[in-house]
Amino acid sequence: MAKNKFHDGPGPSQRQLRVGEVIRRTLSEVLARGDVHDPELNRLSITVGEVSTSSDLKIATAYVLPLGGKGQEDVLQLLARNKHELRRMIGKKIGLKFTPDLRFRLDETFDRLDDTRRMFDQEDVRRDLESGDEEE
């Protein structure tokens, strides 16, 4: 049976999760300390919410958000501009044989949480939820 190119099985392996978390913590530390040789990037506070890795560990995608959510596109550009230096720093600290190539995406988790809260605050949704509780 052919594998769907958009789905890599049941989910990430323990190794993928572990490597992603180590990269997330290391990237957060490097950005918080301002270790990068780019003053524009160092002046920003950036949250690294999650890092997911490809199944072969060659690509790591970091989901980031600037503090306050302003200047999102600028943050992505600055991180992309400095990705080689960030990769080198991460590689030194985590000690993997090969350091994954870094990609950066906006972390939209907070937006989805806000949307979910707004949805649950709608009168018709609340009414449906309450009627569902009564049926049980």
pLDDT at 118: 65
Q: Is residue 129 part of a domain?
A: no
- Tally the domains of the chain: 1
Residues 6+ apart with CB under 8 A from 24: 48, 49, 50, 51, 62
Q: Is residue 40 part of a domain?
A: yes
Q: Is residue 128 part of a domain?
A: no
Q: Is residue 31 part of a domain?
A: yes
Q: Is residue 92 part of a domain?
A: yes
DSSP string, 4-28: PTT--SSS--HHHHHHHHHHHHHHH
pTM listed for this prediction: 0.74
Strand, helix or coil for residue 63: strand
Count of C-beta atoms within a 10 Å radius of residue 45: 11
DSSP string, 80-94: HHTHHHHHHHHHHHH
Q: Is residue 22 part of a domain?
A: yes
Structure tokens at 22: 């180590």
pLDDT at 2: 43
- CATH code for the domain in which residue 98 is found: 3.30.300.20
Model pLDDT for residues 56-92, shown as the tens digit of each residue = 999 999 999 998 878 899 999 999 999 999 999 999 9
Q: Is residue 62 part of a domain?
A: yes
Task: Determine the structural domain holding residue 30 and report its residue range.
Answer: 14-107
Mean pLDDT by 10 residues, the chain (136 residues): 49 93 97 94 94 96 90 94 96 90 89 59 71 59
Q: Is residue 2 part of a domain?
A: no
